[in-house]
């Protein structure tokens, strides 16, 4: 029987397409469920099942009535809850709704980590309606202010003193009051979390959890310092250049975090920091790495991360999967300033850099672009492979240096 997999996604972006391609390769039947089509009937012609993320229970019932599924996969954080509810109703292995809810709320996650004895920074959350000057009085400086439920570092800001704190708080409040956030109607978006700043180098770990046990697929070093005031992701390179001992420490920390959160089955993407006191897990998301970044990973016989995840979702044993390249990496091309994206020069030169496999510009001409902390996207992605992590990093930097972006200053709207 052809394996049938339910893919729950918020948008029909790159990742959804990557899963559709992977399913085709594998000969799996992939059924998409998304909330972007409950008004129009099948507007994208992909026969997606319409669900409403703001109404998880009725969405679960809709999905449970769709017949047999052998596995479920969620793309991005928000769909994980419906994926978990549907999996429970369908009786297929996945994470519990409670576990994915913890992953999606930075306050709940921190509480679980603390209870499990994992190192955590000083942390507390306050309602966005609080007076920031009062909150600043008991903030540990330097600290990081963050929304509880956004991702891709959107709204995450470091503050070194009360003045910066008040400014950051108000900026985050404005983000949480924008229509694209309000429309999600999520309880956690009414709070801001304050955490003491954890200094150190940063890493991310991509993995698969099976029956609660973590299998590490890749440890990425993030060679650019992430010291704030905003935390822009740029370069990810694997394998890690850290010693075997340090890598064990990183993996052990993520393993404990996975247990603390109660994750049971499916992909994870973890972010963590390392300093003299040890490894500090920032978060574990119950989903694969975002954007186009998964393209940086290639497994045995050229298998993509999406193929691996689909196989795992239907219960295949993928425990022997290994990365096939000696080293690989991706650069998420940061947005240097806000404005109207007008174009880029130098893509050909960047693509010709030895080791660079692909330069993908995702910004569209005429698109309004916003840098962090308000924005949460990139201009594009550069992918490189090579014999060594240092070579891959150098290739990514060299390619980025070839790119010249044209961004026009957006004219302010004059209100009369």
Residue 390, classed as helix, strand or coil, is helix
> What dihedral do alpha carbons 75, 79, 82, 85 form, nearest 10°?
60
Nearest to 19 by CA among 304, 216, 254: 304
Rule CB under 6 A: is residue 153 a binding residue for ligand ADP? yes
Helix locations, 280-329, DSSP H: 305-313
Q: Which stretch binds ligand ADP (CB under 6 A): 151-159, 254-262, 319-327, 400-408?
A: 151-159
Q: Which stretch binds ligand ADP (CB under 6 A): 4-12, 148-156, 325-333, 383-391?
A: 148-156
Question: Closer to ligand ADP at the Cβ: 156 or 402?
Answer: 156
User: Cβ–Cβ contacts within 10 Å for residue 301, how many?
Assistant: 7
Binder among 13, 56, 121, 262 for ligand ADP (CB under 6 A): 121
Q: Which stretch binds ligand ADP (CB under 6 A): 11-19, 153-161, 164-172, 297-305?
A: 153-161
Rule CB under 6 A: is residue 144 a binding residue for ligand ADP? yes
Rule CB under 6 A: is residue 195 a binding residue for ligand ADP? yes
Binder among 12, 15, 151, 377 for ligand ADP (CB under 6 A): 151
Rule CB under 6 A: is residue 282 a binding residue for ligand ADP? yes
Rule CB under 6 A: is residue 9 a binding residue for ligand ADP? no
**Is residue 173 packed enough to be buried (19+ CB in 10 Å), middle (13-18) or exposed (0-12)?**
middle
User: Cβ–Cβ contacts within 10 Å for residue 99, how many?
Assistant: 25
Rule CB under 6 A: is residue 165 a binding residue for ligand ADP? no
Residues in the chain, overall count: 416
Rule CB under 6 A: is residue 283 a binding residue for ligand ADP? yes
Size of the residue set binding ligand ADP (CB under 6 A)? 19
And the tokens for 192?
Answer: 């801001």
Binder among 5, 23, 26, 150 for ligand ADP (CB under 6 A): 150
Nearest approach, Cβ of residue 224 and ligand ADP (Å): 10
Rule CB under 6 A: is residue 14 a binding residue for ligand ADP? no
Judge whether 103 and 286 are in contact, CB under 8 Å.
Answer: yes
And the tokens for 356?
Answer: 């660079």
Tally helices (H) and strands (E) across the chain. 12, 21
Binder among 110, 154, 269, 312 for ligand ADP (CB under 6 A): 154
Nearest approach, Cβ of residue 301 and ligand ADP (Å): 32
Q: What is the DSSP letter of 323?
A: B
Nearest to 242 by CA among 219, 216, 224: 219
Judge whether 263 and 286 are in contact, CB under 8 Å.
Answer: yes
Nearest to 104 by CA among 305, 293, 310, 269: 269
Cα–Cα distances in angstroms (integers) from residue 413 to residues 179, 283, 387, in the given order? 18, 38, 51
Binder among 105, 206, 271, 307 for ligand ADP (CB under 6 A): 271
Q: Which stretch binds ligand ADP (CB under 6 A): 7-15, 174-182, 191-199, 348-356?
A: 191-199
Nearest approach, Cβ of residue 22 and ligand ADP (Å): 25
Nearest to 155 by CA among 406, 373, 414: 373
- Quote the Cα angle for 115-120-123, to 5°: 95
Question: Closer to ligand ADP at the Cβ: 222 or 298?
Answer: 222
Nearest approach, Cβ of residue 350 and ligand ADP (Å): 26
Half-sphere exposure of 64 (CA within 13 A, CB side): 16
Rule CB under 6 A: is residue 164 a binding residue for ligand ADP? no
Binder among 60, 102, 146, 265 for ligand ADP (CB under 6 A): 146
CA 201 to chain centre: 18
Rule CB under 6 A: is residue 197 a binding residue for ligand ADP? yes
Nearest to 199 by CA among 160, 246, 151: 160
Question: Closer to ligand ADP at the Cβ: 256 or 273?
Answer: 273
Question: Closer to ligand ADP at the Cβ: 106 or 295?
Answer: 106
Rule CB under 6 A: is residue 156 a binding residue for ligand ADP? yes
Q: Which stretch binds ligand ADP (CB under 6 A): 146-154, 353-361, 382-390, 402-410?
A: 146-154
Rule CB under 6 A: is residue 119 a binding residue for ligand ADP? no
Subset of 203-242 contacting ligand ADP (CB under 6 A): 226, 231
Task: Please give the residue ranges that form the binding site for ligand ADP (CB under 6 A).
Answer: 106, 121, 144, 146, 150-154, 156, 195, 197-198, 202, 226, 231, 271, 282-283
């Amino acid at each position: 029987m052809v394996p049938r997999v339910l893919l729950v996604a918020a948008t029909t972006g790159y990742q959804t397409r990557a899963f559709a391609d992977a399913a085709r390769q594998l000969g799996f039947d992939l059924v998409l469920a998304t909330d972007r089509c409950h008004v129009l009937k099948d507007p994208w012609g992909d026969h997606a099942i319409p669900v409403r993320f703001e109404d998880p229970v009725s969405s679960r019932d809709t999905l449970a009535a769709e017949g047999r599924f052998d596995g479920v996969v969620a793309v991005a954080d928000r769909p994980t809850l419906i994926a978990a509810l549907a999996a429970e109703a369908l009786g297929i292995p996945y994470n519990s709704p409670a576990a994915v809810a913890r992953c999606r709320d930075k306050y709940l996650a921190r509480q679980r980590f603390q209870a499990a004895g994992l190192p955590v920074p000083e942390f507390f959350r306050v309602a966005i309606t609080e007076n920031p000057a009062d909150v600043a009085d008991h903030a540990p400086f330097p600290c990081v202010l963050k929304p509880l439920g956004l991702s891709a570092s959107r709204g995450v800001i470091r503050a070194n003193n009360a003045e910066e704190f008040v400014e950051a708080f108000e900026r985050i409040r404005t983000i949480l009051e924008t229509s694209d956030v309000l429309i999600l109607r999520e309880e956690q978006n009414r709070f801001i979390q304050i955490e003491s700043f954890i200094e150190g180098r940063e890493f991310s770990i991509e993995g698969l959890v099976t029956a609660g046990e973590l299998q590490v697929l890749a440890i990425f070093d993030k060679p650019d310092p992430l010291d704030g005031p905003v935390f822009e992701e740029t370069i990810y390179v694997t394998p890690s250049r850290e010693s075997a001992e340090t890598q064990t420490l990183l993996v052990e920390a993520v393993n404990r975090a996975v247990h603390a959160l109660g994750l049971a089955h499916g992909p994870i993407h973890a972010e963590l920091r390392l300093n003299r006191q040890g490894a500090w897990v920032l978060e574990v998301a119950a989903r694969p790495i975002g954007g186009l970044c998964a393209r940086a990973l290639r497994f045995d016989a050229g298998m993509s991360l999406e193929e691996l995840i689909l196989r795992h979702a239907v219960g295949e044993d993928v425990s022997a999967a290994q990365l096939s390249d000696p080293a690989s990496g991706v650069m998420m091309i940061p947005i240097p300033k806000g404005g109207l994206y007008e174009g880029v020069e130098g893509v050909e030169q960047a693509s010709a850099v030895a080791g660079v496999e692909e330069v993908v510009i995702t910004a569209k001409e005429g698109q309004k672009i916003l840098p962090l902390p308000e924005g949460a996207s990139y201009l594009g992605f550069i992918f490189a492979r090579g014999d060594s992590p240092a070579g891959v990093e150098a290739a990514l930097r060299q390619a980025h240096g070839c790119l010249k972006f044209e961004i026009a200053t957006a004219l302010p709207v004059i209100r009369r």
